[in-house]
Structure 1
């Protein structure tokens, strides 16, 4: 049984340990899930911001791409103009800032810079300081960047088979290759997640690259057709020495050329620009299918009066910024496009307003952020950022640091759950431990009870065998007339009667205990004299006591009758006297004193002997069923271990109790309280 109990404890303990480990693991998994979910929210917000910024940039680029090339001049001849040649002021002339565009400009093949903010005849000293500084930046930045790289020449209308590649072609090829190499956002995120394991990530673990492909997406080259007369006038306004200006008739309106020019030493990239008289290029021809469809000389002449204007998409031009600036982008970004009007090549563009771009990103982030999120725009990622979105515009990067306003909220929530888990596990472990302790005690009690029952069976067998043997022996002696003396016969008859009474008491004790255990013992409380009941018991037990050398004395005080169960009280006194006869047989003083008295609202019955007494450690256990003092193997006293247990049960049935008091120098008093 002990082995089974140990096995059960091991199985339950192992199961609880596994459940505890699973609980802790699930809590950690929940924490990782919360952090992953929160990171997913930051990634989703970063993607929304990217899409919003991209949409804004796309709309801006579409507006600028559709902008007529004439808007880059201060004045121009509109298409609706008739023969009067009236000039219209550029819609850009009122302000240098238009959305994300700052400072529109145009550069012709000779390196002449034209802006819509000032007339060509206006002297630089009379210009606004902002415009003058901007023109200086264009001369020192844009033109220097174009030298040897952006060759604006007439080869652009050549056939791809016949013309030779230039530096600009190489630049476009490299730019197209760069566009093709930019992976989508999902691939970037996966690469950012795998890079730390490969040891090659250049981004922090909490950062992700979010390309904004507005400039990398394929844009259509625009082809515009205008009448040659209007085109000639507009080109004449922008550049007095352009080829179309030389073709213009003497009666055409001329605009003074107060153009802001670069230094006399024209950059090498501009020196090689072909002029009409120097170029071996064939003049611009109408496509064969257009000429074929014309079908008549009149149609051909009408087509020759139209000029095809080719406007290419914008490309970024990065100009290093040598000045210390607080701008997020380290360099100045220009967006330029190539405009081809037959043999005339123009470079139009503007400076990207980085402050406006940052403001729009700031506005998108502030509008799309979720609860508990903050952000910061910077050049580099922050180490404490929950997620850093690297907004890659193609011409530069912007670090959008998404911040957790309450960084400890996940830890706090997990801590609360951890507290609950620890509390629940502690309660479960404590409950199981208490259950195991209770089971262990119950098991020990069952083992002890089983041992006591075995001892009880042995004691009952002995208690039954002894009187039966005596009765049988005396019966045979009397039956065979071996005893002749009448006095001896009376003695034998008395012994047989006493042994029979002893058997009756033993059987009655067993039956009463069985009834009490099953709850079927019925008590009959009737009014009576308890002293009379005690005297009857003493007179019944006196012969047995005298035969064992004991003398029974009584000290009974008069008291009024009260309700009690006569049989139960008799059993109490009989068992107490019988217990004294058993355990005080070796005492020097063999007196047994039976007392009764009235005390307050209870009747006291005492039985005193002068035996060895009862140790305090056993004074409570002697009232347990089947318990007997001493070692069962060396015990000399007879008994079944039920007598004192019945005394306690009968006293409790009378709403009373039992006390045990040791007497000096030797002896013990059993005091019974019976409620009146």
Structure 2
């Protein structure tokens, strides 16, 4: 048994080590997959933010240059600029234009300089922002600085083909196609505006447009550009199409007819103006004069809007935190945070947005990553594998242990049978020799010897018969002749057979059987069962002060219950269910002293089960035990 345990232990270790390595690598791979998934969807979140910012930048850069004045020019009937009203977005303070001389104008201010009462405070703030900008604009370069390239999001084909159910665990993805990023561009563009727009742009200082000669030269420049579009664009300055030599009225007529100016427009850029505000503006160059048009962005409300719009409604907000930071004067500070509380970030992915939002960076953090569905499947598979391995090894161990126990009991049985056969044979031989030598001096003594010979012969016959019956039952060769009866003939036969032994050992046999009970049984089998039970009680109870054996028969719920009880030492509690096993003997001093083969109760159980019955053993409240077997009743 020790060797078997050692072999099973070695087998477990040999299987567990490579299995543990595979499991570890699998979980490490799953952890990396979970990080990759969260990184991918974080970058997708940043891409969505960048796409919306790009759409906004496109909208602002496509504004007409005269929209930064209170009223529009030319054929639009002097209508109000769309920027003449307070912005709908709470994060935009207002729009303004910084003129070449540093002066200030805003669409909120009428041409007469009148400002509505509810806009006075906003205009004052815009004017203050313009003053701050005038102090800082000398540090600006002609073109916006190139933004740092954003961290490239993983673009693996397998990630592109993920199912919607997988993606929806992180993001509620928009069905609209992603717009091409418009942010971070450095190229300037040229466009044409009308004379009215040019006058509207520089209404405070119309000398910027130049003299009539300049208008003639500007007209000629535009005409030449139209004739040859492939020629490189001229230096940005205010020119009108050249007309033939004519008096001033003719030039004015040509200008009125052409009504076009060429201007240079740079991409949006940003500059901090303090107090949590940035001026997002574009440079407009006309006749070598620089106008700066844009809006004042209130950073904290803007970042709160970004978080609320793009992050807080997403599934990933339940387990990640979005941090929005602003770089101002070389100092980075967190201006907005949303999502789950994160103490020690085990995961982080960041993005710095291109110009004009290059002051803004976003980071997604998480301390606990969402479990991949594969992790649950792998865990379940490992649990099932572990359970099956344990059950398999336990079954192997139990089977081997049962076989070894049975082998040991068989060996003990052979030894016990040899001893049990030797004892009656020795007694028979001894008494025969005594009779041959005439030691029995009287007929009475001689009769006693004959009785002993008969008893030992019967004992030997029963032992041999038990062994043969057990062999037949194991091979399923035993035939049963079930006949209805009330057990009277069986009990009478048992009393007759066991009377001499009961009297010799000092036992009394009590039988209580009702007359109206009928059930089917095999007569010979029933006699053998009761004799085995009575002999078992005699063998273990001969040292008890009270030596009573009782047989009782009762009917209950369609069953006939037959019980044999004694007043012996009883059965140890842990052995009550084992006493019917093949070759089982209770390990005690009494058992070793009385001897036996261990097949008596096993044979009884096999007989009862073969007759569709059941059997159990129980200790009495007082001394002794009771063995009860039940058979189906008739009718």
- TM-score normalised by L of structure 1: 0.55
Higher deviation after alignment, 503-512 or 308-317 = 308-317
Partner of 1:455: 412
CA shift for structure 1 position 458: 1.5
Structure 1 contact 316–333 (Cα < 8 Å) conserved? yes
Structure 1 contact 9–436 (Cα < 8 Å) conserved? no
* SS of structure 2 residue aligned to 1:354: strand
Task: Output one character per residue of 1:139-186: Cα deviation in whole Å (capped at 9) or x when no partner.
Answer: 956666677x89xxxxxxxxxxxxxxxxxxxx44xx47x33xx34434
1:328 pairs with one of 277, 281, 287: 277
Structure 2 contact 585–598 (Cα < 8 Å) conserved? yes
Q: 1:184 and 1:424, CA in 2 relative to 1: closer, same or farther beyond 3 A?
A: closer
Equivalences for 1:340-355 in 2 at 5 Å?
340=287, 345-354=288-297
1:570 aligned onto 2:512: no
CA shift for structure 1 position 134: 9.2
Q: 1:402 and 1:98, CA in 2 relative to 1: closer, same or farther beyond 3 A?
A: farther
1:311 pairs with one of 239, 259, 263: 263
Higher deviation after alignment, 358-367 or 1-10 = 358-367
CA shift for structure 1 position 52: 2.7
1:216 aligned onto 2:185: yes
* SS of structure 1 residue aligned to 2:244: helix
CA distance in 1, matches of 2:57, 2:544: 119
Structure 1 contact 72–114 (Cα < 8 Å) conserved? yes
CA distance in 1, matches of 2:98, 2:81: 11
Structure 1 contact 613–663 (Cα < 8 Å) conserved? no
Partner of 2:47: 47
Partner of 1:195: none
CA distance in 1, matches of 2:581, 2:85: 104
Task: Output one character per residue of 1:182-226: Cα deviation in whole Å (capped at 9) or x when no partner.
Answer: 344344999xxxxxxxxxxxxxxxxxxxx9865733123457899
RCO higher in structure (CA 8 A, sep ≥6): 1
Partner of 1:393: 355
1:302 aligned onto 2:255: no
Q: 1:218 and 1:605, CA in 2 relative to 1: closer, same or farther beyond 3 A?
A: closer
* SS of structure 2 residue aligned to 1:312: strand
Equivalences for 1:572-587 in 2 at 5 Å?
572=529, 574-575=531-532
Equivalences for 1:156-171 in 2 at 5 Å?
171=141
CA shift for structure 1 position 508: 1.0
CA shift for structure 1 position 582: 5.8
1:244 aligned onto 2:187: no
Structure 2 contact 539–594 (Cα < 8 Å) conserved? yes
Q: 1:218 and 1:241, CA in 2 relative to 1: closer, same or farther beyond 3 A?
A: closer
CA distance in 2, matches of 1:594, 1:135: 116
CA shift for structure 1 position 50: 1.6
Task: Output one character per residue of 1:249-305: Cα deviation in whole Å (capped at 9) or x when no partner.
Answer: 9xxxxxxxxxxxxxxxxxxxxxxxxxxxxxxxxxx99999x99xxxxxxx9983997
Task: Output one character per residue of 1:399-444: Cα deviation in whole Å (capped at 9) or x when no partner.
Answer: 67889xxx99x77x76999999999988987887788777766655
1:507 aligned onto 2:456: no
* Alpha-carbon RMSD: 6.9
CA distance in 2, matches of 1:524, 1:550: 33
Structure 1 contact 49–361 (Cα < 8 Å) conserved? no
Equivalences for 1:583-622 in 2 at 5 Å?
613=569, 616=572, 620=576
CA shift for structure 1 position 572: 4.1
Task: Output one character per residue of 1:329-368: Cα deviation in whole Å (capped at 9) or x when no partner.
Answer: 2xx454332222xxxx433332434369987994897389
* SS of structure 1 residue aligned to 2:265: coil
1:381 pairs with one of 307, 324, 334: 334
Structure 2 contact 325–336 (Cα < 8 Å) conserved? no
CA shift for structure 1 position 567: 2.0
- TM-score normalised by L of structure 2: 0.58
1:338 aligned onto 2:285: yes
Structure 2 contact 183–354 (Cα < 8 Å) conserved? no
CA distance in 1, matches of 2:335, 2:590: 85
CA distance in 2, matches of 1:143, 1:468: 131
CA shift for structure 1 position 58: 2.4
Partner of 1:277: none
Q: 1:454 and 1:245, CA in 2 relative to 1: closer, same or farther beyond 3 A?
A: same
Give the gaps of 5 or more residues in structure 2. Answer: 156-179, 229-240, 327-332, 340-348
* SS of structure 2 residue aligned to 1:302: coil
Partner of 1:185: 150
* SS of structure 2 residue aligned to 1:216: coil
CA distance in 2, matches of 1:674, 1:93: 106
CA shift for structure 1 position 38: 4.8
Structure 2 contact 553–562 (Cα < 8 Å) conserved? yes
1:522 aligned onto 2:480: yes
Structure 1 contact 315–337 (Cα < 8 Å) conserved? no
CA distance in 2, matches of 1:449, 1:655: 23
Task: Output one character per residue of 1:374-399: Cα deviation in whole Å (capped at 9) or x when no partner.
Answer: 88987543574468765443376346
CA distance in 1, matches of 2:561, 2:242: 145
Larger radius of gyration: 1
Q: 1:593 and 1:569, CA in 2 relative to 1: closer, same or farther beyond 3 A?
A: farther
Give the gaps of 5 or more residues in structure 1. Answer: 81-87, 151-170, 191-210, 250-283, 292-298
CA shift for structure 1 position 448: 3.3
Aligned pair count? Answer: 543
Partner of 1:58: 58
